[in-house]
Amino acid sequence: MDFLRTLGGWLRTLLAVIGGLLVLGIVALIAFGLTNRGAKIADQSILVMDLKGELPEYAASDFTTNLLGNATLTFKDQLDNLKKAAKDNRIKGVLVKLDSLGAGWAQVQELRDAFAEFHKSGKFAIGYSEAINERGYYLALALDNYYMPPTGFFEMNGLTTEITHWPGLLQKLGVGVQYFRYGKYKSQSGESLGRIALSEPVKEMINLNLDEEYSVFVKAVADGKKLSVEQVKQLIDSNLPNAEWALEHKLIDGIAYADEVESIIKKRIGVDADKNLEKVKASDYGQVALEDMGLNKGSNKVGIVYSVGLIVAGEGGGASPLSSGPSQGAEPIIRALQEAGKRDDIKAVVFRVDSPGGAGLGCDLVRRAVEQLAKKKPVIVSMGNYAASGGYWVSMDGTAIVADPLTLTGSIGIWSVIPNVEALNKNLALNVESFKRGNRADALSGNHPLNPENAKIFDQELLKSYQRFVQLAAQGRHKPLAAMQEIAQGRTWLGAHAQTLGLVDKLGGFDTAIALAAEKIKVTPNDISLEVLQKQESSLGTLLGQSATELILRAFGIERTAQKFKTPLSLDLLLEHHTFPLMEPVKVD
């Protein structure tokens, strides 16, 4: 016992010492962060926008990245950087790096519009990449010039989407699925899990959207390069994926390495060839306040609230196990909307939605919060790449909806897949014994399929959810129920098409939504200032509010045993989404 007491005392001392060192480290980090804040920008500078990867709509602030001044740039941060650069006399132009651009089509369209506005300042924007795809090239067409190295990879061979169907594999693994849906076009995501091939209505929907996206891309190339639509289509079908071919057909402005592009820029702004080009990273320029450039100084405050990724009930957050993207809990969104309603200084709200769907409960709770807020002040919905299924559910009660022409929206429908491992248990010689009270207590256990009676009950509940979705959409959009039933059916529409159907009000991006918010409160866009209303998810307070022991345990990946254990993908999670699971629109590359 003496040994154990001694060991315990030694461990407590060790943890206290480590905890003290941790606190000292935090203090040092604060000091370092405070002394390194503020971007140093020289005259004759070039803003460098490296658009590699996805452009997140919303990124929760992280304590350490905030201190060190390298927090993740959001999509709006990139747009704001262009606005600041247009007014900043120290910035002479922009160099846009387009390698591995992961932004969605709607975001790329919004960036094209932003560069068109930037060009009004008389400044230039030059693009460069070692490899480029159709989305990257769609953006490059909005720049003054675009260059590639001689061995660059130029991909312009058309648009495609591929859908993998899982039931065959699941069956081989001993996992059965029962597929339910309402809305004949609902959905490619559901059918990838519930069917071995797409139904004809879903094929029709995919082809229509693909035709519209392809037409937009082809027309942009034709307009940008002074070609006919047929000439562009011939080039696409004869594409050789190299820079020399692209230059031969005048699709790019020149062959140049990165250092040669810098020389081109230096000559353009009058910098001697033997001097360094002053470059400012977008992350550093993000530290320059809009107010320093005379922007965002209006006396009428407009709040910004984000709904990004799969919408789930509760606090949520983090990566979604049902998709490759993030998830977001309904509660933080609702709190932000309610805060906007309580604050007298918030005159209107722009609700930015970039979501392919989510859980029925979470989506409906957010919709209700939007509906209540819209009774007090204008709520302008701004749709990003996706605002479909649950993404449309949370949007439809806004005062007005703004979508990009290439936003994928609508998908007013319901689907669900109920898995079971009955065959897998048998294959593995697992014997499951069940004890229950209540005839349907084990209906959703996942150890056996739903029997006909339970399947009928589940199907009826799904039908009620679909009918409620359609009815609420009709009410929110002020359309007759019969008209909404006609355009619902789980069908996904591009924003431009959705506007003709009355599913959205105006076409445009963030700036269009902000201008509409200003119009609703009878001021000009210059008379407003913006404030993001979501709270930071990581802060010094939460960090210091934990014990040293807890911090050390977390550092080694150990959580307190009292916390709920979460499996990466459990039946409970699938069932949580059963009334409104993920509906991710077809991704087009």
68 SS3 class: helix
Closest CA to 225 of 305, 299, 146, 158: 146
Provide the 8-state DSSP code for 259: H
Query: Looking at the chain, how many residues does it have?
Result: 589
Cis status, amide bond into 121, omega within 30 of 0:
no
Annotated catalytic residue, options 389, 395, 411, 416: 389
Amino acid at 119: H
Q: How far apart are CA 56 and CA 62, in angstroms?
A: 14
C-alpha torsion angle, residues 186, 204, 168, 445 (rounded to 10): 0
Amino acid at 363: C
Whether residue 533 contacts residue 334, with contact meaning beta carbons closer than 8 Å, is answered with no
Host H or E run for residue 297: none
Q: What are 92's strand-pairing partners?
A: none
- Work out whether strand 310-312 and strand 400-403 pair parallel, antiparallel, or are unpaired: unpaired
Q: DSSP states of 320-387 as a string?
A: -TTSSSBEEEHHHHHHHHHHHHH-TTEEEEEEEEEE-BB-HHHHHHHHHHHHHHHTTS-EEEEEEEEE
C-alpha torsion angle, residues 109, 112, 118, 119 (rounded to 10): -150
Count other C-beta atoms under 10 Å from residue 260's C-beta: 14
Whether residue 111 contacts residue 103, with contact meaning beta carbons closer than 8 Å, is answered with yes
Q: How far apart are CA 408 and CA 392, in angstroms?
A: 10
Closest CA to 493 of 588, 395, 410: 410
Q: What are 127's strand-pairing partners?
A: 96, 146
Closest CA to 379 of 275, 468, 302: 302
Closest CA to 362 of 513, 555, 577, 527: 577
Residue with tokens 């924007």: 125
Closest CA to 349 of 399, 299, 396: 399
- Work out whether strand 400-403 and strand 506-507 pair parallel, antiparallel, or are unpaired: parallel
Give the HSE-up count for residue 198: Cα atoms under 13 Å, Cβ half-sphere: 18
> Apex CA 398: angle with CA 392 and CA 400, to 5°?
100
Closest CA to 50 of 95, 91, 93: 95
522 SS3 class: coil
Q: Is 532 exposed, middle or buried (0-12, 13-18, 19+ CB in 10 A)?
A: middle
Reply yes or no on whether 465 is catalytic: no
Q: How far apart are CA 562 and CA 401, in angstroms?
A: 44
580 SS3 class: coil
Active site residues: 389
